[in-house]
Chain A
Amino acid sequence: MSAGHLSFDELAELAEGLLAPRQARDAEAHLDSCEECGARASALAATTNALRGLGPVAMPPEVGTRLDRVLARASEAPTGETVVPDLSQVRQRRRMPPPWTLAAAAAVIVVASVSTILATRGGGHHATSETAGSIEAPLVATTPRQPMVTTESGRVYTPSTLPSLAPSLLGGASLGQSPTGAAGTVTGSGGAAPAPLQPHQDAGVAPPAAKAAGRPTAQNPTAQSPYAQAFGPAAAVPAPLRRYADSQKALLACAAFITDTPGAAPVAVDYARWSNPTTHTRRAPALILVFQDVHATDELDVYVVAPSCDDRSLLNYQVVSSPAAATASPTR
Chain B
Amino acid sequence: MSDADLLAQHLGGDPDAFSALVSRHRDRLWAVALRTLGNPDDAADALQNAMLSAYRGASGFRGSSAVTTWLHRIVVNACLDFARRRAVRPTQPLLEDQAATASDEIGSHETALAVTAALRLLPADQAAAVVLVDIEGFSVDEAAAILEVPSGTVKSRCARARARLAQELYELDPRRASDRNGHQGSHVQTKADNEEHL
Contact = CB atoms under 8 A, between A and B. Distances in A.
Nearest to A197: B11
Interface stretch (A64-72, A138-146, A182-190, A307-315): A64-72
Interface residues of A, number: 60
B59 A164 contact: yes
A220 to B, nearest CB: 23
A205 B4 contact: yes
B75 to A, nearest CB: 12
A205 B106 CA distance: 38
Interface stretch (A89-97, A152-160, A248-256): A152-160
A39 B170 CA distance: 9
Interface string B1-45: 010110110011111001100110011101100110000100110
Interface string A53-82: 111111110011011101110110000000
A64 B26 contact: yes
Interface stretch (B83-91, B107-115, B181-189, B190-198): B107-115
| Chain A binding surface, main DSSP class | helix
A43 B170 contact: yes
Interface of B: 2, 4-5, 7-8, 11-15, 18-19, 22-23, 26-28, 30-31, 34-35, 40, 43-44, 47-48, 51-52, 55-56, 59-64, 96, 98-107, 111-112, 114-116, 130, 134-135, 137, 152, 155-156, 158-160, 162-167, 169-170, 173, 176
Given A16-B158, A63-B30, A54 B13 contact: no
A52 interface: yes
15 contacts: A12-B162, A39-B170, A44-B162, A46-B166, A52-B106, A52-B134, A57-B101, A58-B98, A63-B44, A63-B47, A64-B23, A64-B26, A74-B56, A202-B64, A203-B7
